[in-house]
Structure 1
Protein backbone atom coordinates (compact mmCIF):
# COMPACT_ATOMS: atom_id res chain seq x y z
CA UNK A 1 0.00 0.00 0.00
CA UNK A 2 2.85 2.32 0.85
CA UNK A 3 4.54 1.67 -2.50
CA UNK A 4 1.32 2.47 -4.33
CA UNK A 5 0.94 5.71 -2.38
CA UNK A 6 4.53 6.75 -3.13
CA UNK A 7 4.03 5.98 -6.82
CA UNK A 8 0.84 8.01 -6.89
CA UNK A 9 2.55 10.97 -5.22
CA UNK A 10 5.44 10.76 -7.69
CA UNK A 11 3.05 10.72 -10.64
CA UNK A 12 1.22 13.70 -9.17
CA UNK A 13 4.47 15.68 -8.82
CA UNK A 14 5.46 14.84 -12.39
CA UNK A 15 2.06 15.95 -13.64
CA UNK A 16 2.73 19.39 -12.17
CA UNK A 17 5.62 19.91 -14.60
CA UNK A 18 5.33 20.71 -18.29
CA UNK A 19 6.82 18.33 -20.84
CA UNK A 20 9.75 20.71 -21.26
CA UNK A 21 10.46 20.79 -17.53
CA UNK A 22 10.31 17.00 -17.37
CA UNK A 23 12.73 16.76 -20.28
CA UNK A 24 15.23 18.95 -18.41
CA UNK A 25 14.81 17.06 -15.14
CA UNK A 26 15.26 13.66 -16.77
CA UNK A 27 18.68 14.64 -18.13
CA UNK A 28 18.15 12.58 -21.27
CA UNK A 29 20.72 11.87 -23.98
CA UNK A 30 19.06 14.48 -26.23
CA UNK A 31 19.58 17.13 -23.54
CA UNK A 32 23.26 16.21 -23.23
CA UNK A 33 23.70 16.40 -27.01
CA UNK A 34 22.02 19.79 -27.11
CA UNK A 35 24.34 21.03 -24.37
CA UNK A 36 27.29 19.87 -26.48
CA UNK A 37 25.86 21.94 -29.32
CA UNK A 38 25.66 25.00 -27.07
CA UNK A 39 29.24 24.30 -25.94
CA UNK A 40 30.42 24.33 -29.56
CA UNK A 41 28.73 27.66 -30.24
CA UNK A 42 30.11 29.12 -27.00
CA UNK A 43 33.72 28.06 -27.54
CA UNK A 44 33.52 28.63 -31.29
CA UNK A 45 32.67 32.28 -30.78
CA UNK A 46 35.49 32.46 -28.25
CA UNK A 47 37.97 31.20 -30.86
CA UNK A 48 36.71 33.72 -33.40
CA UNK A 49 37.11 36.59 -30.92
CA UNK A 50 40.63 35.44 -30.00
CA UNK A 51 41.66 35.18 -33.67
CA UNK A 52 40.29 38.65 -34.42
CA UNK A 53 42.04 40.22 -31.42
CA UNK A 54 45.32 38.47 -32.27
CA UNK A 55 45.09 39.61 -35.90
CA UNK A 56 44.50 43.20 -34.78
CA UNK A 57 47.44 43.03 -32.38
CA UNK A 58 49.65 41.67 -35.15
CA UNK A 59 48.48 44.36 -37.53
CA UNK A 60 49.12 47.19 -35.09
CA UNK A 61 52.36 46.02 -33.47
CA UNK A 62 53.89 43.31 -35.70
CA UNK A 63 55.11 41.64 -32.52
CA UNK A 64 53.54 38.25 -33.07
CA UNK A 65 55.55 35.65 -35.06
CA UNK A 66 54.81 35.75 -38.78
CA UNK A 67 53.66 32.13 -38.56
CA UNK A 68 50.64 33.59 -36.78
CA UNK A 69 49.47 34.95 -40.13
CA UNK A 70 48.97 31.34 -41.22
CA UNK A 71 47.73 29.94 -37.91
CA UNK A 72 45.19 32.64 -37.07
CA UNK A 73 42.97 32.10 -40.15
CA UNK A 74 42.78 28.39 -39.31
CA UNK A 75 41.85 29.23 -35.72
CA UNK A 76 39.08 31.48 -37.02
CA UNK A 77 37.88 28.81 -39.47
CA UNK A 78 37.82 26.23 -36.67
CA UNK A 79 35.72 28.63 -34.60
CA UNK A 80 33.26 29.18 -37.45
CA UNK A 81 33.07 25.41 -38.02
CA UNK A 82 32.18 24.87 -34.35
CA UNK A 83 29.56 27.63 -34.53
CA UNK A 84 28.05 25.92 -37.60
CA UNK A 85 28.00 22.41 -36.09
CA UNK A 86 26.51 23.64 -32.79
CA UNK A 87 22.96 24.27 -34.09
CA UNK A 88 23.03 20.90 -35.87
CA UNK A 89 23.67 19.10 -32.57
CA UNK A 90 20.93 21.16 -30.95
CA UNK A 91 18.45 19.52 -33.33
CA UNK A 92 18.20 16.85 -30.62
CA UNK A 93 15.79 19.16 -28.78
CA UNK A 94 12.26 17.68 -28.57
CA UNK A 95 10.22 18.22 -31.71
CA UNK A 96 7.33 19.63 -29.70
CA UNK A 97 9.57 22.53 -28.64
CA UNK A 98 9.06 23.95 -32.13
CA UNK A 99 12.71 24.89 -32.54
CA UNK A 100 13.69 22.69 -35.51
CA UNK A 101 12.98 25.29 -38.20
CA UNK A 102 14.97 27.95 -36.35
CA UNK A 103 17.94 25.60 -35.97
CA UNK A 104 17.96 24.59 -39.63
CA UNK A 105 17.78 28.24 -40.68
CA UNK A 106 20.52 29.13 -38.22
CA UNK A 107 22.83 26.39 -39.52
CA UNK A 108 22.28 27.50 -43.12
CA UNK A 109 22.98 31.13 -42.23
CA UNK A 110 26.05 30.34 -40.15
CA UNK A 111 27.50 28.21 -42.96
CA UNK A 112 28.02 31.53 -44.77
CA UNK A 113 30.93 32.23 -42.40
CA UNK A 114 32.70 29.07 -43.55
CA UNK A 115 32.13 29.95 -47.19
CA UNK A 116 33.28 33.55 -46.71
CA UNK A 117 36.45 32.98 -44.71
CA UNK A 118 37.32 29.65 -46.32
CA UNK A 119 37.13 31.15 -49.80
CA UNK A 120 39.00 34.25 -48.69
CA UNK A 121 41.81 32.14 -47.26
CA UNK A 122 42.26 29.67 -50.13
CA UNK A 123 41.33 31.96 -53.03
CA UNK A 124 41.61 35.66 -52.08
CA UNK A 125 39.82 37.97 -54.45
CA UNK A 126 37.33 35.37 -55.68
CA UNK A 127 34.38 36.83 -53.79
CA UNK A 128 32.87 39.97 -55.27
CA UNK A 129 31.59 42.76 -53.03
CA UNK A 130 27.90 41.78 -53.46
CA UNK A 131 28.80 38.18 -52.57
CA UNK A 132 30.68 39.34 -49.48
CA UNK A 133 27.78 41.48 -48.30
CA UNK A 134 25.30 38.66 -48.90
CA UNK A 135 27.38 36.14 -46.94
CA UNK A 136 27.92 38.60 -44.08
CA UNK A 137 24.21 39.35 -43.81
CA UNK A 138 23.41 35.62 -43.99
CA UNK A 139 25.74 34.96 -41.06
CA UNK A 140 24.06 37.71 -39.03
CA UNK A 141 20.66 36.17 -39.76
CA UNK A 142 22.07 32.81 -38.63
CA UNK A 143 23.15 34.26 -35.27
CA UNK A 144 19.77 35.92 -34.78
CA UNK A 145 17.91 32.69 -35.58
CA UNK A 146 20.04 30.86 -33.03
CA UNK A 147 19.06 33.40 -30.37
CA UNK A 148 15.40 32.88 -31.33
CA UNK A 149 15.98 29.15 -30.85
CA UNK A 150 17.36 29.76 -27.36
CA UNK A 151 14.42 32.00 -26.50
CA UNK A 152 11.87 29.45 -27.70
CA UNK A 153 13.68 26.66 -25.87
CA UNK A 154 13.64 28.56 -22.57
CA UNK A 155 9.91 29.12 -23.01
CA UNK A 156 9.44 25.40 -23.67
CA UNK A 157 11.21 24.44 -20.44
CA UNK A 158 9.32 27.16 -18.55
CA UNK A 159 12.30 29.22 -17.45
CA UNK A 160 11.13 32.87 -17.65
CA UNK A 161 14.43 34.03 -16.13
CA UNK A 162 16.35 32.51 -19.03
CA UNK A 163 13.75 33.76 -21.50
CA UNK A 164 14.41 37.31 -20.29
CA UNK A 165 18.15 36.81 -20.89
CA UNK A 166 17.46 35.44 -24.35
CA UNK A 167 15.26 38.44 -25.13
CA UNK A 168 18.02 40.81 -24.04
CA UNK A 169 20.50 38.86 -26.16
CA UNK A 170 18.17 39.05 -29.15
CA UNK A 171 17.73 42.82 -28.94
CA UNK A 172 21.45 43.40 -28.35
CA UNK A 173 22.49 41.12 -31.20
CA UNK A 174 20.09 42.70 -33.67
CA UNK A 175 21.02 46.28 -32.80
CA UNK A 176 24.80 45.82 -32.66
CA UNK A 177 25.37 43.44 -35.56
CA UNK A 178 22.88 45.04 -37.93
CA UNK A 179 24.23 48.48 -37.03
CA UNK A 180 27.81 47.43 -37.68
CA UNK A 181 27.03 45.78 -41.01
CA UNK A 182 24.86 48.69 -42.10
CA UNK A 183 27.84 51.00 -41.66
CA UNK A 184 30.01 48.44 -43.46
CA UNK A 185 27.50 48.26 -46.32
CA UNK A 186 27.08 52.02 -46.69
CA UNK A 187 30.82 52.63 -46.56
CA UNK A 188 31.51 50.22 -49.41
CA UNK A 189 28.75 51.80 -51.47
CA UNK A 190 30.41 55.17 -50.79
CA UNK A 191 27.14 56.45 -49.33
CA UNK A 192 28.67 57.02 -45.93
CA UNK A 193 31.82 58.70 -44.69
CA UNK A 194 34.95 56.62 -44.32
CA UNK A 195 34.89 54.62 -41.12
CA UNK A 196 37.97 53.24 -39.45
CA UNK A 197 38.09 49.43 -39.71
CA UNK A 198 38.91 49.43 -36.01
CA UNK A 199 35.50 50.90 -35.21
CA UNK A 200 33.69 48.22 -37.20
CA UNK A 201 35.85 45.46 -35.74
CA UNK A 202 35.35 46.77 -32.20
CA UNK A 203 31.59 46.72 -32.70
CA UNK A 204 31.69 43.15 -33.97
CA UNK A 205 33.88 41.98 -31.07
CA UNK A 206 31.66 43.75 -28.53
CA UNK A 207 28.57 42.05 -29.97
CA UNK A 208 30.26 38.64 -29.99
CA UNK A 209 31.49 39.01 -26.40
CA UNK A 210 27.97 39.81 -25.19
CA UNK A 211 26.62 36.94 -27.28
CA UNK A 212 29.18 34.53 -25.81
CA UNK A 213 28.56 35.65 -22.22
CA UNK A 214 24.78 35.24 -22.35
CA UNK A 215 24.89 31.98 -24.31
CA UNK A 216 27.34 30.66 -21.71
CA UNK A 217 25.17 31.68 -18.77
CA UNK A 218 22.06 30.15 -20.35
CA UNK A 219 24.02 27.00 -21.20
CA UNK A 220 25.09 26.50 -17.59
CA UNK A 221 21.69 27.25 -16.07
CA UNK A 222 19.90 25.09 -18.61
CA UNK A 223 21.09 21.91 -16.90
CA UNK A 224 20.42 23.23 -13.39
CA UNK A 225 16.64 23.67 -13.32
CA UNK A 226 15.22 25.65 -10.45
Structure 2
Protein backbone atom coordinates (compact mmCIF):
# COMPACT_ATOMS: atom_id res chain seq x y z
CA UNK A 1 0.00 0.00 0.00
CA UNK A 2 1.15 3.52 -0.67
CA UNK A 3 0.66 4.52 2.98
CA UNK A 4 2.95 1.78 4.30
CA UNK A 5 6.33 2.76 5.63
CA UNK A 6 9.15 1.63 3.38
CA UNK A 7 11.80 0.02 5.63
CA UNK A 8 14.45 0.65 2.97
CA UNK A 9 13.74 4.36 2.66
CA UNK A 10 16.34 6.87 3.85
CA UNK A 11 15.81 8.27 7.37
CA UNK A 12 13.53 11.29 7.51
CA UNK A 13 14.08 14.31 9.70
CA UNK A 14 11.61 14.95 12.46
CA UNK A 15 10.85 18.43 11.13
CA UNK A 16 11.96 19.99 14.40
CA UNK A 17 14.37 22.79 13.72
CA UNK A 18 17.21 23.67 16.06
CA UNK A 19 16.38 26.72 18.24
CA UNK A 20 18.93 28.99 16.58
CA UNK A 21 17.61 28.01 13.13
CA UNK A 22 14.05 28.91 14.15
CA UNK A 23 15.35 32.13 15.69
CA UNK A 24 17.17 33.09 12.50
CA UNK A 25 14.19 32.14 10.34
CA UNK A 26 11.38 33.67 12.36
CA UNK A 27 13.15 36.64 14.01
CA UNK A 28 16.21 37.54 11.90
CA UNK A 29 16.13 41.17 13.01
CA UNK A 30 16.04 40.18 16.69
CA UNK A 31 18.95 37.79 16.10
CA UNK A 32 20.90 40.57 14.44
CA UNK A 33 20.23 42.94 17.35
CA UNK A 34 21.50 40.44 19.90
CA UNK A 35 24.67 39.85 17.88
CA UNK A 36 25.30 43.60 17.51
CA UNK A 37 24.60 44.03 21.22
CA UNK A 38 27.15 41.37 22.15
CA UNK A 39 29.66 43.03 19.82
CA UNK A 40 29.19 46.38 21.59
CA UNK A 41 29.51 44.73 25.00
CA UNK A 42 32.72 43.01 23.91
CA UNK A 43 34.14 46.28 22.54
CA UNK A 44 33.32 48.09 25.78
CA UNK A 45 34.96 45.32 27.85
CA UNK A 46 38.14 45.57 25.79
CA UNK A 47 38.10 49.35 26.14
CA UNK A 48 37.63 49.19 29.91
CA UNK A 49 40.48 46.69 30.25
CA UNK A 50 42.72 48.94 28.16
CA UNK A 51 41.78 52.00 30.21
CA UNK A 52 42.31 50.23 33.55
CA UNK A 53 45.65 48.69 32.57
CA UNK A 54 46.99 51.45 30.35
CA UNK A 55 45.65 54.54 32.13
CA UNK A 56 48.07 54.47 35.08
CA UNK A 57 50.99 53.76 32.73
CA UNK A 58 50.10 56.80 30.63
CA UNK A 59 49.80 59.00 33.71
CA UNK A 60 53.17 57.86 35.05
CA UNK A 61 55.27 57.75 31.88
CA UNK A 62 53.85 60.36 29.53
CA UNK A 63 52.47 63.06 31.79
CA UNK A 64 53.98 65.44 34.27
CA UNK A 65 52.28 66.32 37.55
CA UNK A 66 50.66 69.35 35.93
CA UNK A 67 48.74 67.07 33.51
CA UNK A 68 47.47 64.51 36.02
CA UNK A 69 44.12 66.23 36.43
CA UNK A 70 43.57 66.60 32.67
CA UNK A 71 44.45 62.96 31.96
CA UNK A 72 42.28 61.85 34.87
CA UNK A 73 39.32 63.76 33.41
CA UNK A 74 39.91 62.27 29.95
CA UNK A 75 40.08 58.75 31.39
CA UNK A 76 36.90 59.44 33.37
CA UNK A 77 35.04 60.60 30.26
CA UNK A 78 36.29 57.59 28.27
CA UNK A 79 35.15 55.23 31.04
CA UNK A 80 31.69 56.82 31.11
CA UNK A 81 31.38 56.48 27.32
CA UNK A 82 32.48 52.82 27.48
CA UNK A 83 29.90 52.12 30.19
CA UNK A 84 27.27 53.80 28.02
CA UNK A 85 28.32 51.58 25.11
CA UNK A 86 27.90 48.53 27.33
CA UNK A 87 24.39 49.64 28.32
CA UNK A 88 23.43 50.14 24.66
CA UNK A 89 24.77 46.68 23.84
CA UNK A 90 22.81 45.09 26.67
CA UNK A 91 19.65 46.94 25.62
CA UNK A 92 19.98 45.42 22.15
CA UNK A 93 20.24 42.00 23.80
CA UNK A 94 16.68 42.52 25.09
CA UNK A 95 15.58 41.20 21.68
CA UNK A 96 16.44 37.66 22.80
CA UNK A 97 13.46 35.25 22.39
CA UNK A 98 11.32 34.67 25.47
CA UNK A 99 11.56 30.91 24.84
CA UNK A 100 15.26 31.04 25.72
CA UNK A 101 14.46 31.81 29.36
CA UNK A 102 17.08 34.56 29.27
CA UNK A 103 14.79 37.61 29.23
CA UNK A 104 14.46 38.04 33.03
CA UNK A 105 18.26 37.91 33.35
CA UNK A 106 18.93 40.51 30.66
CA UNK A 107 16.13 42.73 32.04
CA UNK A 108 17.80 42.64 35.47
CA UNK A 109 21.25 43.23 33.97
CA UNK A 110 20.11 46.29 32.00
CA UNK A 111 18.20 47.78 34.93
CA UNK A 112 21.10 47.37 37.36
CA UNK A 113 23.64 48.62 34.81
CA UNK A 114 21.49 51.70 34.28
CA UNK A 115 21.34 52.29 38.05
CA UNK A 116 25.12 51.94 38.29
CA UNK A 117 25.58 54.40 35.42
CA UNK A 118 23.35 57.00 37.09
CA UNK A 119 25.26 56.56 40.36
CA UNK A 120 28.54 57.02 38.50
CA UNK A 121 27.30 60.33 37.09
CA UNK A 122 26.16 61.41 40.56
CA UNK A 123 29.62 60.85 42.00
CA UNK A 124 30.91 63.63 39.73
CA UNK A 125 28.34 66.03 41.20
CA UNK A 126 28.63 65.04 44.86
CA UNK A 127 31.49 66.18 47.04
CA UNK A 128 33.20 63.89 49.51
CA UNK A 129 30.90 62.88 52.32
CA UNK A 130 28.49 60.18 53.52
CA UNK A 131 26.19 60.67 50.52
CA UNK A 132 29.04 60.16 48.05
CA UNK A 133 30.15 57.00 49.89
CA UNK A 134 26.62 55.58 49.74
CA UNK A 135 26.27 56.37 46.03
CA UNK A 136 29.63 54.76 45.24
CA UNK A 137 28.64 51.68 47.25
CA UNK A 138 25.35 51.38 45.37
CA UNK A 139 27.18 51.78 42.07
CA UNK A 140 29.67 49.00 42.88
CA UNK A 141 26.94 46.65 44.11
CA UNK A 142 24.68 47.31 41.10
CA UNK A 143 27.60 46.78 38.72
CA UNK A 144 28.54 43.49 40.37
CA UNK A 145 25.01 42.04 40.38
CA UNK A 146 24.43 43.29 36.82
CA UNK A 147 27.58 41.49 35.71
CA UNK A 148 26.44 38.26 37.37
CA UNK A 149 23.02 38.51 35.70
CA UNK A 150 24.61 39.16 32.30
CA UNK A 151 26.95 36.18 32.58
CA UNK A 152 23.97 33.98 33.48
CA UNK A 153 22.18 35.50 30.49
CA UNK A 154 25.09 34.43 28.27
CA UNK A 155 24.80 30.92 29.70
CA UNK A 156 21.06 30.72 28.99
CA UNK A 157 21.47 31.95 25.40
CA UNK A 158 24.33 29.48 24.84
CA UNK A 159 22.15 26.62 26.09
CA UNK A 160 19.27 27.84 23.91
CA UNK A 161 21.37 27.64 20.76
CA UNK A 162 22.72 24.27 21.93
CA UNK A 163 26.28 25.39 22.70
CA UNK A 164 26.98 23.82 26.12
CA UNK A 165 30.69 24.53 25.63
CA UNK A 166 30.05 28.29 25.69
CA UNK A 167 27.64 27.88 28.61
CA UNK A 168 30.44 26.11 30.49
CA UNK A 169 32.83 28.97 29.73
CA UNK A 170 30.34 31.44 31.18
CA UNK A 171 30.03 29.47 34.43
CA UNK A 172 33.80 29.07 34.77
CA UNK A 173 34.28 32.81 34.32
CA UNK A 174 31.62 33.46 36.96
CA UNK A 175 33.15 31.01 39.46
CA UNK A 176 36.69 32.38 39.00
CA UNK A 177 35.44 35.94 39.43
CA UNK A 178 33.32 35.23 42.52
CA UNK A 179 36.06 33.21 44.24
CA UNK A 180 38.64 35.94 43.52
CA UNK A 181 36.34 38.67 44.88
CA UNK A 182 35.62 36.62 48.01
CA UNK A 183 39.33 36.02 48.66
CA UNK A 184 40.09 39.70 48.05
CA UNK A 185 37.33 40.78 50.44
CA UNK A 186 38.46 38.40 53.21
CA UNK A 187 42.08 39.46 52.77
CA UNK A 188 41.10 43.13 52.91
CA UNK A 189 39.15 42.61 56.14
CA UNK A 190 42.03 40.69 57.72
CA UNK A 191 44.54 43.38 56.74
CA UNK A 192 42.31 46.09 58.23
CA UNK A 193 42.02 44.14 61.50
CA UNK A 194 45.60 42.86 61.74
CA UNK A 195 48.08 44.86 59.65
CA UNK A 196 50.34 42.14 58.32
CA UNK A 197 52.34 42.34 55.09
CA UNK A 198 51.95 38.59 54.61
CA UNK A 199 48.17 38.97 54.52
CA UNK A 200 48.52 41.73 51.98
CA UNK A 201 50.30 39.31 49.64
CA UNK A 202 47.10 37.25 49.48
CA UNK A 203 45.45 40.15 47.71
CA UNK A 204 47.81 39.95 44.73
CA UNK A 205 46.71 36.51 43.43
CA UNK A 206 43.09 37.48 44.17
CA UNK A 207 43.44 40.58 41.99
CA UNK A 208 45.10 38.47 39.31
CA UNK A 209 42.21 36.01 39.55
CA UNK A 210 39.73 38.86 39.04
CA UNK A 211 41.62 39.93 35.92
CA UNK A 212 41.66 36.36 34.61
CA UNK A 213 37.94 35.99 35.31
CA UNK A 214 37.23 39.25 33.47
CA UNK A 215 39.21 38.07 30.44
CA UNK A 216 37.34 34.73 30.53
CA UNK A 217 34.09 36.71 30.59
CA UNK A 218 35.19 38.78 27.58
CA UNK A 219 36.10 35.60 25.69
CA UNK A 220 32.69 34.10 26.49
CA UNK A 221 30.97 37.15 25.04
CA UNK A 222 32.90 36.99 21.79
CA UNK A 223 32.52 33.19 21.47
CA UNK A 224 28.76 33.53 21.81
CA UNK A 225 28.74 36.46 19.39
CA UNK A 226 30.53 34.34 16.78
CA UNK A 227 28.26 31.36 17.45
CA UNK A 228 25.20 33.40 16.48
CA UNK A 229 25.05 33.16 12.70
CA UNK A 230 23.01 35.81 10.96
Shorter chain as normaliser: what TM range? 0.7 to 0.9
Q: Aligned ranges for residues 137-148 of structure 1 at < 5 Å?
A: 137-148=141-152
Q: Aligned ranges for residues 35-184 of structure 1 at < 5 Å?
A: 35-59=35-59, 61-64=60-63, 66=67, 67-125=70-128, 127-180=131-184
| Native 8 Å contact 1:54 1:72 kept in 2 | no
| Native 8 Å contact 1:140 1:177 kept in 2 | no
| Native 8 Å contact 1:180 1:204 kept in 2 | no
Structure 1 29/151 Cα, relative in aligned 2: closer, same or farther at 3 Å? same
| Native 8 Å contact 1:44 1:79 kept in 2 | yes
TM-score after normalising by structure 1: 0.76
Match of 2:224 in 1: 218
| Native 8 Å contact 1:20 1:156 kept in 2 | yes
5+ long unaligned stretches in structure 1: 1-11
User: 1:62 deviation in Å?
Assistant: 4.6
Q: Find the aligned partners of 2:26 and 2:226 in 1 and give their Cα distance.
A: 16
User: 1:131 deviation in Å?
Assistant: 3.6
Q: Find the aligned partners of 1:68 and 1:166 in 2 and give their Cα distance.
A: 35
5+ long unaligned stretches in structure 2: 1-11
Q: Find the aligned partners of 1:125 and 1:150 in 2 and give their Cα distance.
A: 37
Q: Find the aligned partners of 1:71 and 1:32 in 2 and give their Cα distance.
A: 33
User: 1:28 deviation in Å?
Assistant: 0.6
User: Are 2:208 and 1:208 equivalent residues in the alignment?
Assistant: no
Q: Find the aligned partners of 2:168 and 2:114 in 1 and give their Cα distance.
A: 28
User: 1:76 deviation in Å?
Assistant: 0.7
The superposition leaves residues 119-161 of structure 1 with CA deviations (integer Å, 9 ceiling, x where unpaired) of 3334442644344233212211111100111111111122222
Q: Find the aligned partners of 1:101 and 1:192 in 2 and give their Cα distance.
A: 43
| Native 8 Å contact 1:73 1:121 kept in 2 | no
User: Are 2:18 and 1:18 equivalent residues in the alignment?
Assistant: yes
| Native 8 Å contact 2:174 2:213 kept in 1 | no
Structure 1 181/134 Cα, relative in aligned 2: closer, same or farther at 3 Å? farther
Q: Find the aligned partners of 1:182 and 1:114 in 2 and give their Cα distance.
A: 27
Runs of 4+ in 1 over 6 A off after TM superposition: none
Task: Mark the structure with the bigger radius of gyration.
Answer: 2
